[in-house]
Amino acid sequence: MEVVDKVLAGKRITEEEALWLLRESELLELGQLANFVRNKKHPDRVVTFVIDRNINYTNICVCKCKFCAFYREPGSKEGYVIDRDTLRKKIEETLELGGTSILIQGGLNPQLGIEYYEELLSFIKENFPQIHIHGFSAPEIVHISRVSGLTVKEVIERLKKAGLGSIPGGGAEILVDRVRKRIAPNKVRTKEWLEVHETAHNLGLKTTATMMFGSLDKDEDIVEHLKVIRELQDRTGGFTAFIPWSYQPDNTELGKLIKEKASGERYLRVLAVSRIYLDNFENLQASWVTQGGKLAQVALKFGANDFGSLMIEENVVAAAGVKFKMPLDEIIRLIKDAGFLPVQRDTLYRKVRAFQ
Ligand code: SF4
């Protein structure tokens, strides 16, 4: 078969071929092919993971995404903006548990301008210079630029100067505006998401790319998403990893419409096609937060080389009823039982320590 030969020969596949693999290929053969690509890129039988903490600095948000159970509207009694003591405590706990970074994200809060973010970053860096700050996804960056009347470039430059170390790929959902308009009508469009990441890469900040599939997307949309991020990676090389996960419907507005989660089979197919098509991405994450430990183990044979994060705290997916909590020992056991050496890494994928 032509596409299989192409992959085995290390050649790039087309969108049509990716679509064929997603729809028509036999699952185990697809897995083998993705595993072949993964082993070529990472021949050392290592699976990495990061120890970090999600810190959601505010849940107040004007975006009202239909798949989100986390946000509260301005004026809500349950709305919050994190105070310094809570923030300090969360970072101290992260460091005590061997964490190297924090993932700081929040809602699009109309009360917060660039100065708030600069002060937040400076506070963290002054008190915890050793911690890496991975923070503020593309919708937040665009939101700050609008609230403060700055360009995206100016916002990223100022945040970087204040201590921002890298940018997460959140808010990508599916990078096809036809779908975005339906699931997140107020969120940044594809062009803006890509612009934030390209600008960050050009300013020397690494970022990750994500994809949330399994809502109103079709096979073609998934392939289109992969296409636009592969093109951007060709231009900049600034993505460290790709992280696909499936839409979690519980407690969300969209959940009234789409109650079913993507199956495990679908998840593995998307993961494997991502590994094969995204030939310019080094790292592919398995999502145990949405898929659970057992499927995440299988994912390691379907192209993934990274187990994501030992998240000390995760509020956004937890708000949608998904509460997989996994202590360090369990992550290590799962990786070892799947036949790999667990290695803690930092946010920029540099190895920190191996667990023999
Ligand atoms: S996903 Fe983010 S931007 Fe959308 S409503 Fe939730 S907090 Fe706001």
At 264, is the secondary structure helix, strand, or coil?
Answer: helix
Q: How far apart are CA 91 and CA 327, in angstroms?
A: 18
Residue to substitute in 56, 70, 72 for testing ligand 1 pocket (most ligand atoms within 8 angstroms of CB): 70
Across 291-327, b (16+ Cβ under 10 Å) vs e yields bebebbbbbbbbbbbbbbbbbbbbebbbbbebebebe
Residue to substitute in 67, 76, 108 for testing ligand 1 pocket (most ligand atoms within 8 angstroms of CB): 108
Predicted confidence at residue 66, as pLDDT, reads: 83
Kindly state if the Cβ of 107 falls inside 6 Å of ligand 1: yes
At 227, is the secondary structure helix, strand, or coil?
Answer: helix
Tokens representing 148?
Answer: 């403060």
Residue 353 lies in a domain: no
Each of the 356 residues of the chain gets a pLDDT tens digit; together they read: 699 999 999 999 999 999 999 999 999 999 999 999 999 999 999 999 999 999 999 999 999 888 888 999 999 999 999 999 999 999 998 898 889 999 999 999 999 999 999 999 999 999 999 999 999 999 999 999 999 999 999 999 999 999 999 999 999 999 999 999 999 999 999 999 999 999 999 999 999 999 999 999 999 999 999 999 999 999 999 999 999 999 887 767 777 777 788 899 999 999 999 999 999 999 999 988 888 899 999 999 999 999 998 876 555 555 555 554 557 888 999 999 999 999 999 999 999 999 98
Kindly state if the Cβ of 68 falls inside 6 Å of ligand 1: yes
Predicted confidence at residue 258, as pLDDT, reads: 74
> Beta strand 132-135 with 101-105: parallel, antiparallel or unpaired?
parallel
Tell me, in angstroms, the distance from the centre of ligand 1 to residue 257's CA: 18
19, 70 Cβ separation under 8 angstroms: no
Predicted confidence at residue 318, as pLDDT, reads: 56
Residue 339 lies in a domain: yes
Residue 354 lies in a domain: no
Residue 355 lies in a domain: no
| Amino acid identity at 44 | D
Q: How far apart are CA 230 and CA 280, in angstroms?
A: 7
Q: Using CA positions, which residue lies closest to atom 6 of ligand 1?
A: 68
Total number of domains constituting the chain: 1
Q: How many CA atoms lie within 13 A of 337 on its CB side?
A: 12
Range of the domain at 54: 2-348
- CATH number of residue 130's parent domain: 3.20.20.70
Q: How far apart are CA 193 and CA 138, in angstroms?
A: 6
Q: How far apart are CA 307 and CA 337, in angstroms?
A: 13
At 161, is the secondary structure helix, strand, or coil?
Answer: helix
Residue 68 lies in a domain: yes
Residue 254 lies in a domain: yes
Tokens representing 97?
Answer: 């548990």
Kindly state if the Cβ of 117 falls inside 6 Å of ligand 1: no
Kindly state if the Cβ of 65 falls inside 6 Å of ligand 1: yes
Residue 316 lies in a domain: yes
Residue 356 lies in a domain: no
